[in-house]
Structure formats: structure tokens, C-alpha cells
Amino acid sequence: MGLTIASDWMFAPEMESGAVVRVLDAWSLPTITSWAVFPAGRMMTAKARQFAERII
């Protein structure tokens, strides 16, 4: 037994089966500021651009 902070998708099968249950629904992590830094003069890959758009 224990507690963890994880994304829902990581434990989706276990949550559906009831092996893992969500607790502390009203609690959430504090928000943080995220920065993405890329090398100058290089084209950003589509994967990097998509990732940066999701976190920023």
C-alpha cells in the first residue's frame, strides 16, 4: 500500500479493475512555470514543437 502522484493513463487498467483507487480528489499539485529552451539556429522538430505547445 502507498500513495503516488501519477497521470491517470499510467494506472487506467488498474483503476478500471479496482486494484488502484483514487484518493484525495480535492487536492492537486501547485502550478509551476515551465520553460522550453531550444538551440539557436536549428529548426525545431515537429515532436519538440508539439511537446513545447503542450507544456507551455
Each residue's pLDDT tens digit, 21-46: 999 989 988 988 877 787 788 788 88
User: Can you give the pLDDT at residue 18?
Assistant: 94
Integer Cα distance of 6 and 2 in angstroms:
12
Does the pTM surpass 0.85? The reply is: no
H, E, C per residue of the chain: CCCCCCCHHHHHHHHHHCCCCCCCCCCCCCCCCCCCCCCCCCCCCHHHHHHHHHHC
Among 42, 9, 3, 38, CA closest to 21? 3
Which whole number is the average pLDDT over 9-14? Answer: 93
Of residues 41 and 16, more confidence is placed in 16
